[in-house]
Amino acid sequence: MEEHLDLEEGRRIEALKDFAHRYRWLLVALAVAVAVGIGAGYGYYRHQSAQLLAASETYGSAVQALQSGREGDAREALRTLMTEYEGTPYAAFARVFRARLLHQGDQSARALEVLKPLASGSVGPPEAQHIGVEERARIQWEQGNAQTALNTLRALEGEAYLPSYFLLKGDLLSATGKPEAAGEAYREARTRPGAGPLSQVIQARIEQLSGNGAPSGDQERGG
């Protein structure tokens, strides 16, 4: 029993590490965009820059805590980001991390609620909405609701640009019995900028389609 719990804890930590790695460059780009886009006066600029720097440090603390398995410290840092630095892109990512922790703690309904404002675009920068929609769909799929997850992804129809979106879309189409459409989504994922790190996973999915196998939520998360 103790060994099983250790394995589960290890899997949770690895999943969080993978998430932090997956979105690190997008977060940096968002932070730079916010800093460059500020133009309402020098005083306001200095205030926003200070907020951004403080939020960056808090975010770094949260990621380090997640990666080392200190979930209590991580939750506190994420709470600070969501309440004290709500206007920064780091707060948007804090919502995603918070939702992931809730979901892994068997509180999926709360996780989906935390992501709802982000996925709807009512909080955070526009780019962060894409992450919120993807994570919401992943949680729904991991709950066994592939069609609901696919419906969630449709919120970004025609606007999605991340290769991870098309990979997930392909997985969901495959899981709902639409292999041809899944193949198109996988091929689209391969053409998107930043697809390099996912190339082996995408190729494996395409080959899996040829063998008539549909990936599960666990397989996608592990890939």
pTM of the model: 0.71
CA-based radius of gyration for the chain: 18
Is a pLDDT exceeding 70 seen at residue 149? yes
Average pLDDT in the 118-122 region?
89
Average pLDDT over residues 84-90: 83
Q: Where are the alpha helices (DSSP H) in 105-216?
A: 108-120, 126-142, 146-153, 163-175, 179-191, 199-210
What pLDDT, on the 0 to 100 scale, is given for residue 222?
Answer: 44
* Average pLDDT, integer, range 33-57: 60
How far is Cα 54 from Cα 81, in angstroms, rounded to an integer?
9
Cα separations in angstroms, 36 against 9, 29, 48, 76: 40, 11, 11, 29
Question: d(Cα 95, Cα 87) in Å, to the nearest integer?
Answer: 13
Exposed, middle or buried: residue 185 (CB in 10 Å: 0-12, 13-18, 19+)?
buried
Give pLDDT, residue 10.
Answer: 52
Lookup: tokens for 61? 């603390």
Residues 6+ apart with CB under 8 A from 54: 85
Check residue 69 and give its pLDDT: 84
Q: Residue 121: pLDDT above 80?
A: yes
Mean pLDDT of 111-122: 91
Q: 118: which residues sit within 8 A by CB, 6+ positions away?
A: 92, 95, 96, 124, 128, 129, 131, 132
pLDDT of res. 40: 46
Is the model's pLDDT at 219 over the cut of 80? Answer: no
Mean pLDDT across 95-103: 89
Q: Rounded CA gap, 68 and 127, in Å?
A: 28
pLDDT tens track for 24-37: 545 554 544 444 44
Is the pLDDT at 141 greater than 80? The verdict is: yes
pLDDT at 4 over 50: no
Q: What's the average model confidence in pLDDT over 190-210?
A: 90
Query: Does the structure show a pLDDT above 70 at 72?
Result: yes
Quickly tell me which residue has 């391969």 as its tokens: 190
For residues 148-172, give the mean pLDDT: 94
pLDDT at 223 over 90: no
Tokens 């392909």 sit on residue? 170
Q: Are 103 and 139 in contact (CB under 8 A)?
A: yes
Residue of 124 and 175 predicted with greater confidence = 175
